[in-house]
Each structure stands twice: as C-alpha cells, then as structure tokens.
Amino acid sequence: LAIVKDCTDGTAGEKAAAQTLDQKRTSWWKRKLTYIDHLRKEPDASLVVSGCDKLHNALAILADLEDPSVGQAVFDRFTGGLDGTLRYYASISALLDERKAPMARRFGEVVDRMHVLAGAASKLPLEHEVYWLKVYDNFHYMDESETYRLGPYFGANAALIAAKALVDETIDAAFAEGRSPSDALAQYRAAGEDPVILGSPPVSFSAWSYAEAKCIAS
C-alpha cells in the first residue's frame, strides 16, 4: 500500500477538476513537479517500482517515435505535449542517476534516444522556465511559513505579467480608497516586498521598484 501511494502522482478527482486546456496543462505541471520532488525522498523499494514503471512508459513512447506511422504525433496524447513530456522524462532520468537506481542507465539511454527522435536540441529539466510567485499572507512578512505560491507560469514574461498585475491590484485599491501616491506606496511597502518571482533562470523583478514607478507615474 505504501508503494502504491508513493507511485501515485495525483488522484482521479484532482485530474478531473481541470476542465479547460489551460487548467489541465497547469494541473499537469503542478502534479509532475510535485511528483519529481517526491521521488527525491521516496524509499528505495518504491523508487524501484516508480523507475521500472517510468522505464516501461518511456520504452512505449520510444517505440511510437520509431514507428513511421506515429512519430512525433505520440506527444499529442500527453497533456504536457512534446516539450513538457521530454522535460519530465529528462528530470526523472537525472534523479534516477542521482540516486543510483538499478534502471538508471537503461532509462537514460531511452530518454537520450527520445530526445534525438523528437529533434530536441538539449535536455532540460521540468522546472526550467517554469515560474511561481511567492506572496506573503500577512503584514509582518517575516515568517516563511506564512507565504503561499501562485502558478505555475510558463516563461519569464508570463511570470512578470502576473507579478505586475498583483502590484497593480494593491496600488489601485489604495487609490480607490482616496490615498495619495506616497501613502499608497508606504502602505504597499509596509506589507513586504512581494510578490517574489521564483524559478530558473532567475527573473529580475522588484515589486517595490515597480510599485514606486507606478505611484510616481500617477
């Protein structure tokens, strides 16, 4: 039972809750990122089952890639598409190598071949250019346990747009209350410098600087 739980990356209810294509895509990335993180700490017995299961899946994908009647169309079956699926398997491969799992070498060979047939120039981890916004859920912003995350956002530009929108919402609400630009900025600074954009490669964004520029422009 413990192994079954360890090898499960989401419930049927969680998967069914996503209705639109964007919701399904976001749900998929969240589940897979969580699952990869879980694999890092999974007990050895569970890791063997997870690794063998993923090797079987990878071999099935490879067989379709090598079939002229299917080829890259195989990725149309997956919510993550070509890019997300390749990143997912590349991340699993790196993790199995790191933990010296018994199927790691064979898994790596299959994943390498998948990338070649898919025409991928390089192997990227699942979290590459996937961003989150860290937001403080209080007004003293000292306790990291009192933060929450929004996302994922795919690409730096999407993360920047979302971060700026949060600042705009707060400043505009202060203006609606009749506060002056200086008072609105002071109120914003009192709540901590957030949102903070998390992800790799890093995105340069200062919520305070953006809020200050917005207030000056007003």
pTM of the predicted structure, to 2 decimals: 0.71
What pLDDT does 15 receive? 64
Rounded distance, CA 29 to CA 10, Å? 11
Give CA–CA dist 70/65, Å, rounded.
Answer: 6
Query: What pLDDT digit, counting tens, does each position of 83-138 carry?
Result: 999 999 999 999 999 999 999 999 999 999 999 999 998 899 998 888 999 887 66
Q: How far apart are CA 144 and CA 16, in angstroms?
A: 32
Is the Cβ–Cβ distance between 128 and 87 less than 8 Å?
yes
For residue 139, pLDDT beyond 60: no
- State how far the Cα of 168 lies from the Cα of 185, in Å rounded to an integer: 11
Which has the closest alpha carbon to 51: 94, 5, 104?
A: 104
Give the pair of three-digit tokens for residue 69: 């009647």
* pLDDT on residue 148: 83
pLDDT of residue 181: 92
How many Å is the Cα radius of gyration of the chain?
A: 21
pLDDT-based confidence at residue 142 (cuts at 50, 70, 90): low
